[in-house]
Chain A
Amino acid sequence: MEERYRILIGKPGLDGHDRGAKFIARALRDAGFEVIYTGIRRTVDEIAAAAIQEDVAAVGLSSMSGAHMRLFPAVVNALARAGGGDIPVLGGGIIPEEDIPALQEAGIRAIFTPGTPIDTIIDAFRQACRQHRQQEAG
C-alpha cells in the first residue's frame, strides 16, 4: 500500500493572511498528500474537531500575526481534550527563532520559520505522518 497521508492545514485566530498556508497546501498536494484546508479565522476547537473528524495523520498551523505562542499550544491542548492527542502538530509563519524551544516544549512537532525551503516542510510532514501511522499500527 503506497504512502497516502491525510493532513489538515489551518489558520487559528484572527489573522487573514493565507498566502503561505495556501501555498503549502498546494505543495503538499503536489507531493501526494490529501490536504484538508480549513480556511482562515478558525478557533482552536474547530481545528481540533475537524482534524479528528477527518482522521488526519498530522495538523499544520500557520500564523502571521504573532499570536502563535498562545494559539499553537492551544490547538495541541484542544486536540488532546477532544481525544486526538496523538495527532502531531506542525507550525509555521512569522515566528522568531527564540520562540521555537517554548513551542516545542508545548508539544509542537516542528516549526518552520520564514524562508524554510518547501522540501524541508514536506519531509517533516511525511516523517510526522509516517510515525503516526506506525504508532497506530503498533
Chain B
Amino acid sequence: MADKKDPRLREWEEQELAASLARCPERRQRFTCAGGREVERLALPDEPDDRYCEDLGFPGRFPFTRGVRPTMYRGRLWTMRQYAGFSTARASNERYRYLLDQGQTGLSVAFDLPTQIGYDSDDPMALGEVGKVGVAIDTLADMEILFNRIPLEKISTSMTINSPAMILLAMYVAVAEKQGVAAEQLRGTIQNDVLKEYVARGTYIFPPRPSLRLITDIFRWCADHTPLFNTISISGYHIREAGSTAAQEVAFTLANGITYVQAALDAGLSLDTFAPRLAFFFSAHSNLLEEVAKFRAARRLWARIMKERFGATRPSSMMLRFHTQTAGSTLTAQQVDNNIVRVTIQALAAVLGGTQSLHTNSRDEALGLPTEESVRTALRSQQIIAHESGVADTVDPLGGSWYIEHLTDAIESESAELIRQVDEAGGVIACIENGFITSQIEEASYRFQQEVEQGERIIVGVNRFQVDEDMRVPVLKIDPAVEDEQVRRLHQVKAERDRMQAETALSELEAAARSGKNLMEPVLAAVRCYCTLGEICGILRRVFGEYRD
C-alpha cells in the first residue's frame, strides 16, 4: 500500500510533517484507544483527488482547512487559557497563581472598563466601575503587583485590551525589564482590535484612523523588539455575542483583518514581517456542527485572501491561528448547572475545529463574576476533553463528513459574499460610519431573540423545561471599598513619583503624537516614570480627538 501512496500526501509527509515532528515530537509514541487499537494521525480518503487537495488539503499546508499544524494536538495541546481579573491587581495576582498551580498554561488578563476606556480610577467617568469587570490598572505600579512572582519569560500572557493597548503593552515590557527579562523573550497577545469596538463592544476612545496608526506603530515596534508576541487578536467573539450569525462572525472579522493588513502595508511594513504574528479570536457557540464548519471555513477563506489578495508567500503569513472563548451569551441564569453542559459542547466544537487556545466559561457567569470553584470546573472541562475524550489524538476528525464539508463550503461562500459587499461599500471604516455592519448584526440578533421569545428556538430551562427555582447562586461580589483602595494607591503613586520626569515624558509624548513618530518609545518612557493611563490617554485624546457615536 505504501507504494501506491498519493505523491502529494507523500510530499506533505516528507516536508511539513517531518519538519513538525522534528521541531515538536508528538506527545506519545503511539496513541491508542482503551484496548490497544491505534489511532491514526490523519484520516484521509483512499484516493485524495484534486478537489480534496485544493479544498481540504493537509494540516499545516495551504489552505489549512484541516488545521494549521501537521500534528495538531498530537504534538501540543491547545493552550488552556482562562480569562480572569477583577478588583485589584493583588487579588488578580492571587487568582493567576492559583490557576497556574492548577495546570493552566497561559494567563489571560481582563481589565476593568475605566482601564479599557483610558480613564484613571479617580476619574468621574470611572465612578462605580472600578475593578468590576476586570483589574484596574492606573500605573506601572499596579502592573508590577499584577505580575508579582510570575516569571514572564516562562509564561504567555494574553491581554484583553484594545484602544489603550499600546500603554498596557508598554507596562508589560517595563515590568519584564524590572524582572530582568528581555523583551525578545516575551510571549503573549494583546487584543488591540479597535475596529470591532465600534460595532460590537464599545470600548473605543479615538476615531478609527488615528487608532489604526497606533496599531501599526505597535506592529512595527514589536516586529523589532518582541518577535514572539502576537500584536493583534482580530476578534469575532464580540461580533457574535452582539448577535451576528456564524457567517457574519467570519465575514466581519476577516474584513477587519483585511483592513489591518492593508493599514500595515500602507505604513510601509512588509507582509511577511507582521502577518505571521496576526492572531484571531472567535466564539464557540452551541450548534456544534456549524461551529466546526465555521472554524474550517475561516481558515480556508483567510488563507485564500492572504494569498490571492495580498500575495503572501510564506505559509505562516497565511495561517489563521485563533483563540476561542465559549459563547457567554448562551449561559442562562436558570438552572446554572446546565451551563456546564453547554460549555462542554462548545469547547468540544472549538477543539474539533482546531483552535490554538481556549477559554471555557464558568457556569455562574450569567449572574456575575465566577467563583473559584466554578472556574476550576470550567478548566477541568477542557482537561477532560484533552485527556479522556480522544478527540485530541487525531487531526480534524470530522473532516470528510459530508455534512461538515457542505457546511464549510456554505459558510465560506456566505462570508466571502459579505466581505465583497463591505469592499464595495468602501471598506470597513466606511461601513462603520454608514452603519452597514451594525445593522446586519442587529437584524440577526433581533431575529434570533424573537425566535426564542416565540418559543421557536428552545433554550432549555428558559423557555422549556423550566423549574421553580431559587436563583441565588453564590456569586463573587466586588467589595465597593476596592474602588477607594485603588484610588488611594493611585494618589500615592502620583505623590511619590518624580513630577518633572513625568511631565517631561507627557509633553514629549504629545509632540511625538502630533509629529507622526512611532509612539511606542515615548509611551514606554512615560510608563516608566509612572505616568498614569488616564494622563497618557488624555494627551492622545487631545491630539486625536474622541470617537462619538
A–B interface present (Cβ within 8 A): yes
B202 touches A65 (CB 8 A): no
B368 touches A96 (CB 8 A): yes
- Residues of B contacting A96 in the complex (Cβ-Cβ under 8 angstroms): 367-368, 472, 475
Shortest beta-carbon distance, B189 to chain A, in Å? 21
Q: Name the one of B113, B197, B241, B442 contacting A13, with C-beta atoms under 8 angstroms.
A: B113
Whether a CB of chain A sits under 8 angstroms from the CB of B437 is no
Shortest beta-carbon distance, A8 to chain B, in Å? 16
A-B contact count (CB 8 A): 89
- Residues of A contacting B197 in the complex (Cβ-Cβ under 8 angstroms): 16
C-alpha gap A120/B333 in the complex (Å)? 17
Whether a CB of chain B sits under 8 angstroms from the CB of A97 is yes
In the complex, which range does the number of interface residues on chain B fall in?
35 or more
Shortest beta-carbon distance, B71 to chain A, in Å? 39
Q: How many chain A residues touch the partner (CB < 8 A)?
A: 32
A69 touches B128 (CB 8 A): yes
Whether a CB of chain A sits under 8 angstroms from the CB of B133 is yes
The main secondary structure of chain B at its interface with chain A is loop
Whether a CB of chain A sits under 8 angstroms from the CB of B326 is no
Shortest beta-carbon distance, A92 to chain B, in Å? 12
A117 touches B203 (CB 8 A): no
List A38-68 residues whose CB lies under 8 Å from chain B.
39-41, 43, 65-67
Whether a CB of chain B sits under 8 angstroms from the CB of A34 is no
Whether a CB of chain A sits under 8 angstroms from the CB of B5 is no
C-alpha gap A83/B242 in the complex (Å)? 35
Whether a CB of chain B sits under 8 angstroms from the CB of A106 is no
A114 touches B117 (CB 8 A): no
Whether a CB of chain B sits under 8 angstroms from the CB of A17 is yes
A13 touches B368 (CB 8 A): no
C-alpha gap A130/B334 in the complex (Å)? 31
Q: Name the one of A14, A66, A113, A119 contacting B471, with C-beta atoms under 8 angstroms.
A: A113
List B331-353 residues whose CB lies under 8 Å from chain A.
332-334
A15 touches B128 (CB 8 A): no
C-alpha gap A22/B438 in the complex (Å)? 11
Whether a CB of chain A sits under 8 angstroms from the CB of B493 is no
Whether a CB of chain A sits under 8 angstroms from the CB of B354 is no
A16 touches B203 (CB 8 A): yes
B241 touches A14 (CB 8 A): no
Whether a CB of chain A sits under 8 angstroms from the CB of B132 is yes
Shortest beta-carbon distance, A79 to chain B, in Å? 17
B453 touches A66 (CB 8 A): no
Whether a CB of chain A sits under 8 angstroms from the CB of B42 is no
Q: Name the one of A13, A26, A119 contacting B129, with C-beta atoms under 8 angstroms.
A: A13
A65 touches B332 (CB 8 A): no
Whether a CB of chain B sits under 8 angstroms from the CB of A138 is no
B202 touches A15 (CB 8 A): yes
C-alpha gap A17/B197 in the complex (Å)? 10
Most buried by B among A65, A69, A117: A65
Whether a CB of chain A sits under 8 angstroms from the CB of B114 is yes
C-alpha gap A17/B241 in the complex (Å)? 9
Q: Name the one of B243, B332, B369 contacting A115, with C-beta atoms under 8 angstroms.
A: B332
B128 touches A71 (CB 8 A): yes
C-alpha gap A19/B202 in the complex (Å)? 11
A66 touches B202 (CB 8 A): no
The digit string for B31-56, where 1 denotes a CB below 8 A from any CB of A, is 00000000000000000000000000
Whether a CB of chain B sits under 8 angstroms from the CB of A94 is yes
Whether a CB of chain A sits under 8 angstroms from the CB of B440 is no
- Residues of B contacting A82 in the complex (Cβ-Cβ under 8 angstroms): none
B368 touches A97 (CB 8 A): no
Whether a CB of chain A sits under 8 angstroms from the CB of B21 is no
A22 — nearest CB in chain B belongs to which residue? B442
B449 touches A114 (CB 8 A): no
Whether a CB of chain B sits under 8 angstroms from the CB of A118 is yes
A94 touches B471 (CB 8 A): no
Whether a CB of chain A sits under 8 angstroms from the CB of B265 is no
A16 touches B201 (CB 8 A): yes
C-alpha gap A117/B127 in the complex (Å)? 31
Whether a CB of chain A sits under 8 angstroms from the CB of B549 is yes
Which residues does A use to contact B, with CB under 8 Å? 13-19, 22-23, 26-27, 39-41, 43, 65-67, 69-71, 74, 94, 96-98, 113-115, 117-119
The 7 closest A-B pairs by CB, nearest first: A16-B202, A70-B128, A14-B113, A66-B132, A67-B128, A114-B333, A67-B129
Could you list 24 A-B pairs, sorted by A, with CB under 8 Å? A14-B114, A14-B119, A15-B129, A16-B202, A17-B202, A17-B242, A18-B242, A19-B242, A23-B445, A27-B449, A65-B113, A65-B129, A65-B132, A66-B132, A66-B369, A67-B128, A67-B129, A71-B128, A94-B368, A97-B472, A113-B333, A113-B471, A115-B334, A118-B449
Which residues does B use to contact A, with CB under 8 Å? 113-114, 116-117, 119, 125-129, 132-133, 197, 201-203, 241-243, 329, 332-334, 366-369, 442, 445-446, 449, 453, 462-463, 471-472, 475, 478, 549
List 19 extra interface pairs beyond A17-B201, A40-B549, CB under 8 A.
Answer: A13-B113, A15-B202, A17-B202, A18-B242, A19-B329, A22-B442, A27-B453, A41-B202, A66-B368, A66-B369, A67-B113, A67-B129, A67-B132, A70-B127, A94-B367, A94-B368, A96-B475, A115-B332, A115-B462
